[in-house]
Structure 1
């Protein structure tokens, strides 16, 4: 079928592509900055051994370090966004590789900075921090000294920086395999038609009301991964090992401790999440029972959990409609917020549609001093509209942080990264539920909302538990094979989904297709962020002006405060179980509402 053909990059209409030229007008301009960056690295190197001479020398160095770090970010973002729009383009593949190598060179060049600064007498460094000229660097230096015990000698820091390309290898290999090399067999729908299967279409097929298509997409996807299970387990195992290597080198008791310490998040936050979700697993089991009954199937399979339980309201939403609805829904956040969203829609911040070789999934990214960007693989469904709202939430967080904070403090920590994006989704959901008068449509939206709880709170916590188990196994010198990785993952699905779900054997391979596992201990923050966002959005939607004011302070905060303190601006305390328990209470209310609407 011709309409199912995946278009090439050249065939995408310009207005549906992101304007990467806002970073560099031409590739030649990129090359100029690339060459200049190496000269500036040489100059930075000349400060080695001199940072303790005086606060004036230290400030001089930090000024130049900050300027070059900003340039390196620009180089890296431009090259990789160009590469992501078509991973088969060898020119931009080369640019991406060169930008990664340059970034590694930069990290190696400045690796003397932290150990030299930490070698300065504590009392002297504190005096320097109080100097008026040093005010811009006070928080930066305080954060550095917080991790003093995990910083090594200048020689060892240099050696670790030199290994960064090697450390990134498992992630790079997986990314190349998953985006460029893996091939999926065509799927078949109930009409007997063959359709192409891609990353971008997988969820769309799983959401279909056509059960033959769903099963075919599910089976063919995991068949492709299973054919490479030993290779994929070796790549994942290598990633666990490199993470543990760096954790040990930096004197952390575990990989988790190292990862969470980067955001200054206490370990109990992670473990509280898993414990809270375990306490509320009966709600997920109840949801699966309701799903089985509403779908009217004898057996509920893993390929049945993405399709709507209200099949007759599965309507198409064009990208133009999605933009308009998202824009309208964000009214509670004020006109300034909406005007910036509109600017993004109209000025090509977004790369909209799937094309051959384009990176799968969706993200928001960008370089400081330039507007944020959003990558989508838009399908005409509700899920894609929520993805648009979600990624624009990230983009707006970056926009506000960049405007309010200097470069060093603009990049918000991973722990709070999902709050603004999920808050947008919750506000969009509230708007849609209020707009509809149809019982079927309301049921459909409640079903979608419950799916967000399943996929964001429960599923990401299950991922987090899988990560915790597998990282601990490596740390305890236990063997990890394709077989026991599959068994661990399968058993978690049994625990999380309950007895009303048939846990198909194919799902045991799902761990092998999760890119976020190559950013260890990232996914739990989807669940904590979701919980925080539900709390914040409820306050804003209730007209709580103080909460709204606190939320904009949060958006503008970047990393100028610790993430736990930033969220407290919004009256959300992640050191307690309360935000997660509160979110799951809402999930229970949705289950009640959905059951009461039957009839």
Structure 2
């Protein structure tokens, strides 16, 4: 592996083409100035929204244009910075985009309070009088739904102006985690010295040499341990920020505040935790099987990622991964496949890790251009599934952007994780169907069980951690490093059971999870996985009819509430059943693997 290459050393065919957003930074600068001008022009509507339907339409159209352009500016700056976080040019552009976004939010902050101040009968008349307002019916309905939690125009402006300060914990964590934090080097299974990085960590944890796994695990957490007080302060202040918004906007709890935007009842969150906790016996069986197949007297936390099936070396270069993904997603139809293939060939994906590149993977992109995918591709099966996952997001974005106006083009995360996981499920079904090698089939089963462990069990554990720490702060209890580690340790004990050694280092895992800076976010991975399991089975069982339902779901973007969108795709998340169905599949897969390895 050696040292990471510099950005300029990565061949162009493996880089995304951000020039499709702005061909040059000068064009970004031009739009930056334009946004400032447009934000000033919006001020001309202040105090006038109740005067006429035409005026109301005018401000909604102006807001839409402004939001679309500021998104383009912000996405470009952030994605350029993500290429190489140490680049001062794009650090500066991102900071400027952040500040501009805050000033735009402040400029637009009068709109919602003024709309809410329009008498109900007058607003109804406006909507009947002006046909063009039909475009904004769902927007207006959403504004009215938020009425009990919307403040006066002056108060909303104050909150908007505080945006940069409020985002400080998240921004500080990102710079510590992606730019400043470094990890020790270890010796790999061949005795060569390699630097532990975010991108390499999972690959090292999958290594068949237990010494390498243990050293990588210790190396990673040794760096976080040195910063535990700083990182406890950042996460504590992030939670305090959530509680501040909760109280200012008059929500009962931080959970209800976070779920309200998706119109999700708290029972969905509570059902997830309760249902997963009610099925932990299968996780304990999985842990026992892992211990048995690895032939270990003691199973440790650093043994959870290495394949349980021995003597399977499965190196998958990027080009082969692309071919596998295309074949695996063939059930979604030729049109879906052709659009995806075109994107893969024309600069949608940034493939390999380089120095100071943002870790992990994501899909993003501004309206009116096309989606992008950030990868840190390693030549392994996990990266193949990550590529399929992120392309699910990308294709959801593609269809949504193509079919919806800007105001409805952005789907909620609750539904986004369905699209990504449908892709993974279909790819897994394809690979299990074509694989004839017993060990590789076992390896795939191992991978699929790991997906359940990581996405349903682990993300639910994360969700419960978020619930507990928010409740602590709401009760006035300080989140010290010791308390955070104590809470996190107990959850690991509960979720993994008595068959594994809960190493001391894992107590600090809370310090490295970026998603904890987005309140009550991770539960959507578990609910999305469950919904996607149902949809993918429908596609494989029913064919074209189910595909059409699914593609219609993708095309609807954010034009309805997430639970209603999922109902159109044939899934009802208001009951525990989809989660239980997914856990039942986990149990069946586990039984298959237990039988094959008996």
TM value normalised by structure 1: 0.99
Q: In the TM superposition, what is the alpha-carbon distance from 1:60 to its structure 2 partner?
A: 1.0
CA deviations 1:262-287 (Å, max 9, x no partner) are: 11111100000000000000000000
Q: What is the rounded CA distance, in whole Å, between the counterparts of 2:331 and 2:195 in structure 1?
A: 41
Q: What is the rounded CA distance, in whole Å, between the counterparts of 1:255 and 1:239 in structure 2?
A: 12
Q: In the TM superposition, what is the alpha-carbon distance from 1:405 to its structure 2 partner?
A: 0.6
Query: Structure 2 residue aligned with 1:102, among 89, 100, 103?
Result: 100
Q: What is the rounded CA distance, in whole Å, between the counterparts of 2:459 and 2:161 in structure 1?
A: 33
Aligned to 1:580: 579
Query: Does the 8 Å contact 1:115/1:154 carry over to 2?
Result: yes
CA deviations 1:409-438 (Å, max 9, x no partner) are: 010012111000000000000000001111
Aligned to 2:440: 441
Aligned to 1:309: 308
Q: What is the rounded CA distance, in whole Å, between the counterparts of 1:541 and 1:493 in structure 2?
A: 35
Q: What is the rounded CA distance, in whole Å, between the counterparts of 1:468 and 1:407 in structure 2?
A: 33
CA deviations 1:139-185 (Å, max 9, x no partner) are: 11111111110000000000110111111000000000000111111
Q: In the TM superposition, what is the alpha-carbon distance from 1:190 to its structure 2 partner?
A: 4.2
Q: In the TM superposition, what is the alpha-carbon distance from 1:544 to its structure 2 partner?
A: 4.2
Q: What is the rounded CA distance, in whole Å, between the counterparts of 1:133 and 1:532 in structure 2?
A: 35
Query: Does the 8 Å contact 2:2/2:193 carry over to 1?
Result: no
Aligned to 2:8: 10
Q: What is the rounded CA distance, in whole Å, between the counterparts of 1:492 and 1:129 in structure 2?
A: 51
Q: What is the rounded CA distance, in whole Å, between the counterparts of 1:182 and 1:88 in structure 2?
A: 12
Q: In the TM superposition, what is the alpha-carbon distance from 1:574 to its structure 2 partner?
A: 0.3
Q: What is the rounded CA distance, in whole Å, between the counterparts of 1:546 and 1:316 in structure 2?
A: 36
Q: In the TM superposition, what is the alpha-carbon distance from 1:194 to its structure 2 partner?
A: 1.8
4+ runs deviating over 4 angstroms: none
Query: Does the 8 Å contact 1:190/1:211 carry over to 2?
Result: no
Aligned to 1:142: 141
1:593 aligns with 2:592: yes
1:74 aligns with 2:76: no
CA deviations 1:100-128 (Å, max 9, x no partner) are: 11011100100000000000001211222
Q: In the TM superposition, what is the alpha-carbon distance from 1:369 to its structure 2 partner?
A: 0.8
CA deviations 1:475-515 (Å, max 9, x no partner) are: 01112100010000001000000111000000000000000
Query: Does the 8 Å contact 2:329/2:423 carry over to 1?
Result: yes
Aligned to 1:320: 319
SS in 2 for 1:46: helix
SS in 2 for 1:393: helix
1:472-551 matched pairs, under 5 angstroms: 472-551=471-550
1:418 aligns with 2:417: yes
Q: In the TM superposition, what is the alpha-carbon distance from 1:193 to its structure 2 partner?
A: 2.8
Query: Does the 8 Å contact 1:111/1:161 carry over to 2?
Result: yes
Aligned to 2:127: 129
May I ask how many residue pairs the two structures share in their alignment? 597
SS in 2 for 1:275: helix
Aligned to 2:459: 460
Query: Does the 8 Å contact 2:396/2:554 carry over to 1?
Result: yes
SS in 2 for 1:187: strand
Q: What is the rounded CA distance, in whole Å, between the counterparts of 1:127 and 1:547 in structure 2?
A: 40
TM value normalised by structure 2: 0.99
Deviating more after overlay: 257-266 vs 425-434: 257-266
Q: What is the rounded CA distance, in whole Å, between the counterparts of 1:191 and 1:9 in structure 2?
A: 27
Aligned to 1:23: 21
Aligned to 2:216: 217
Q: In the TM superposition, what is the alpha-carbon distance from 1:337 to its structure 2 partner?
A: 0.2
Aligned to 2:202: 203
Structure 2: runs of 5 or more not aligned: none
Q: What is the rounded CA distance, in whole Å, between the counterparts of 2:314 and 2:109 in structure 1?
A: 54
Q: In the TM superposition, what is the alpha-carbon distance from 1:311 to its structure 2 partner?
A: 2.4
Q: In the TM superposition, what is the alpha-carbon distance from 1:35 to its structure 2 partner?
A: 0.8
Aligned to 1:173: 172
Q: What is the rounded CA distance, in whole Å, between the counterparts of 1:133 and 1:542 in structure 2?
A: 42
Query: Does the 8 Å contact 2:331/2:543 carry over to 1?
Result: no
Q: What is the rounded CA distance, in whole Å, between the counterparts of 2:190 and 2:360 in structure 1?
A: 28
